[in-house]
Amino acid sequence: MTDLTLSLGKERPMPGILPKQLTYVLGIYFAGLLSFTAFRVILLIQEFHQLHFLPTDQGAWIVLKAFLMGLRFDTVVSGYILTIPFLLLAADAFAGWNSRLLYRIVFWLVLAGYLFAFFVSSADLPYFHHFYTRITMSVMISADSSGSSTLGSGMILREWRYFWALLPFGVISWFFFKRNKTLLNNILYKPEGFPLAAIFRSFALFAILLFMGIWGRFSFQSHLDAGSAYFSDYGFANMLGLNPVYTFGLSYVNSLDGKKLDAHFMGDGEAVRNVQTYLNIPAAQEFNSPIARQVAFADSVSSKPNVVLVIMESMSANKMGRYGNPNGLTPFMDSLAEQSLTFDSVFTSGIHTFAGIYSTLFAQPVVKRHHPMNKIAPQSGFANTLKSHGYSTIYFTTHDDEFDNVGNFLRANGFDRIVSKNDYPAEKITGPLGVPDDYLYEHATGDLDQLAQSGKPFFAALMTGSDHGPYIIPKYFKPKNKEATLGIVEYVDWSVQKFLDMASQRPWFGNTIFIFVADHGASLDKRYDMPLSYVHTPLIFYAPQLLGAPQQLNSLGSQVDIFPTTMGLLQLPYVNNTFGIDLLREKRPFACAFADDKFAVLNAEYMYVSRENGVTSLYHYRSGDVKDHSATQPELTEAMKTYGESIFQAAQWLRKNGKTGGQEVNW
């Protein structure tokens, strides 16, 4: 065999205690663990303020346990990355090839695998901060929408908060590259010096360790799963132990299995029957849909009020002074709530804008990671129902209407017109999210003037966008707070005031019901891994000349209740083929919200959380207690579990079987 060391002028190193191929694999393994630990430290620093939820006498130990748990998940990820390189190097050791070409192939395979892992870990940092969960395939949830990539990439490229994550990616990748190169040089120039029997024993032992690392346990009864990370009552500590490459890879594998994409909690028939019970619907049905029911009102309607529904981007209740925010960000909306019919205990159906639009307009829940508007399907809800009563229907968005397939879906479901980016003057477009909120309201007011002149009542839905990164505050508005995330809320509040001031000068104002609700909230209060601030929304009905004396109600509600509650205020007969109820005439026991890999069921005091990893919890959210109360409240836990699973299973069945559309009835 040619002496490569002499030909390159290098000094021949002495053989080590392990075959050089195994020395390389072990060196890479420890470099990988160190790199993943560095990302975990960065996440801890980024979310350091979450540690105040931990008990002071146990906080350090809980964090240490999270890091120790993290090593187990890091080992699983490293095991998958190193499997093929290990097999190639094992073949080289047994055959005695000492192949420099093979070593370089292994070098690039290892580098590619870990660089991808580091990229996912870097992307997880802003993703976790925004969604308060480890990264999964949900990051791609809008990628199937026609035209969404342009807007999505524009938001990312203009959002400086995402770019800082490139720094740890670059630094850790550079460290790993240098370490990989050093280890490669060791096997390039290190002599053999091991008998075949010793090589066999070493590689056989390491193969067992590698398999056990991937399995994650020293037991063959069950492998390590994401649920293993939930070792405490503290959501952040539990999620800190997870490896984002693991969660992303697991969700990708699950996405390839159609069965895992759907809800499979119980039989469809059982779920539908449960929902009929919850909604007080008789089992014998006269409609195509098993949840459709006729709704009529004793009082005759002399006029048909207009309806203006404003779906506010990320307007968590936690941003309002009314719900305890100390920063004075929403003085106008706080005062508006006092002058209106206001519901204080209402929750959104999910944590994404498409979920908020779908559930608000069509009163249907979202299910798992399904994007309900990617596929055109007939829907009941606001537009089609009000069109049947002679209303004009219009939808306004700040950006292009192709994002999330909103435009196509709404046109197919009763909206006469979609107003979007192409309808606005170019000079008014300030960024990837299109026009700012105050111009959206100004433009919409002009269009509503024209609709009012037709003599027909109108239904208008407006989807705002300013309170979404990248935050662009118009130069003509000067917030009190310098921090963009606070200043933008001030601007949003000012824009609502400007809108209602403009509208109050129109002849159609007195005969119009204005509704304000969030598409979803924001992960502000991260006490739980299902942040309440992400799903708690204000719900305000404002119509001083129509609704009588102001009322502030604390009855439990859901985003899906907005449509039937509005129909009750209008007193127009209709068929309610939705999961919503009229909050002024009916009571609901629970409200549901889906957040990709988990769902929550809430009542007035407790929140039940069911996670895809199999871990469930019951929290007394009214007191802020992070302790799991499921053991002490077994009946409530089971009732909430059954309720949530039934709602989601039935909603999935109705959608798949085309039963979400309007139902014929003769009045």
What does the pLDDT look like over 363-408, one tens digit per residue? Answer: 999 987 788 998 889 999 999 999 999 999 999 999 998 888 999 9
Q: Give the domain ranges of the chain.
A: 19-135+162-255, 268-656
Q: Mean pLDDT, the chain, as a whole number?
A: 91
List pLDDT tens digits, range 181-227.
999 998 887 776 677 777 788 888 888 888 888 887 655 555 788 99
Give 328-365 as a DSSP string: ---HHHHHHHHTSEEEEEEE-S-SSHHHHHHHHHH---
**Whole-angstrom Cα distance, residue 586 to residue 564?**
10
Residue 457 contacts residue 306 (beta carbons within 8 Å): yes
Give dist(CA 478, CA 455) in Å, integer.
39
pLDDT tens figures, 53-68: 999 999 999 999 999 9
Instruction: Kindly report the backbone phi and psi dihedral angles of residue 463, in degrees, each rounded to the nearest multiple of 5, phi listed first.
Output: -110, 110
β-strand partners of 396: 419, 462
Which of 7-44 are b and which e, b meaning 16 or more Cβ less than 10 Å from the residue's Cβ?
A: eeeeeeeeeeebbbbbbbbebbbebbbebbebbbebbb
* Separation of alpha carbons 601 and 96, rounded Å: 61
Q: How many Å apart are CA 566 and CA 515, to the nearest integer?
A: 9
Its sign, for the CA torsion 556, 560, 566, 572, is negative
Look at the chain and count its residues: 667
Nearest to 523 by CA among 512, 514, 534: 534
Structure confidence at residue 646 (pLDDT): 97
User: With the C-alpha atoms ordered 496, 498, 504, 507, is the resulting torsion angle positive or negative?
Assistant: negative
Across 317-347, b (16+ Cβ under 10 Å) vs e yields bbbbbbbebeeebbebbbebbeebbbbbbbb
**In this predicted structure, what is the pLDDT of residue 141?**
63
Q: Which residues contact 588 (CB under 8 A, 6 or more apart)?
A: 278, 556, 557, 558, 561, 581
Alpha-carbon torsion (541, 542, 547, 548), positive or negative: positive
Under-50 pLDDT residues of the chain: 1-12, 142-149, 153, 156-157, 667
Fold classification of 268-656 (topology level): Alkaline Phosphatase, subunit A (3.40.720)
pLDDT of 91: 94
**Which residues sit opposite 537 in a β-bridge?**
346
Strand order in the sheet with 306-312: 417-419, 392-397, 458-463, 306-312, 512-518, 536-542, 341-347, 551-558
Distances (CA, A) of 636 to 85, 588, 641: 51, 15, 8
Q: For residue 381, which of 569, 580, 653, 520 has the smallest C-alpha distance?
A: 580
Structure tokens at 362: 């069509």
List C-alpha distances in Å: 471 to 132, 193, 484, 486, 538.
20, 63, 7, 10, 21
Distance from chain centroid for Cα 7: 58
Phi-psi region of 455 (alpha: psi -120 to 50; beta: other; left: phi over 0): left
Give the per-residue pLDDT at 665: 60
Roughly how many angstroms between the first and final C-alpha of the chain, as a whole number?
95
Dihedral, 144, 145, 146, 149 alpha carbons, nearest 10: -80
Predicted pLDDT at 522: 95
Sequential DSSP letters for 290-308: TT-EEE--SSPPS---EEE
Distance of CA 608 to the CA centre of its chain: 18
Phi-psi region of 404 (alpha: psi -120 to 50; beta: other; left: phi over 0): left
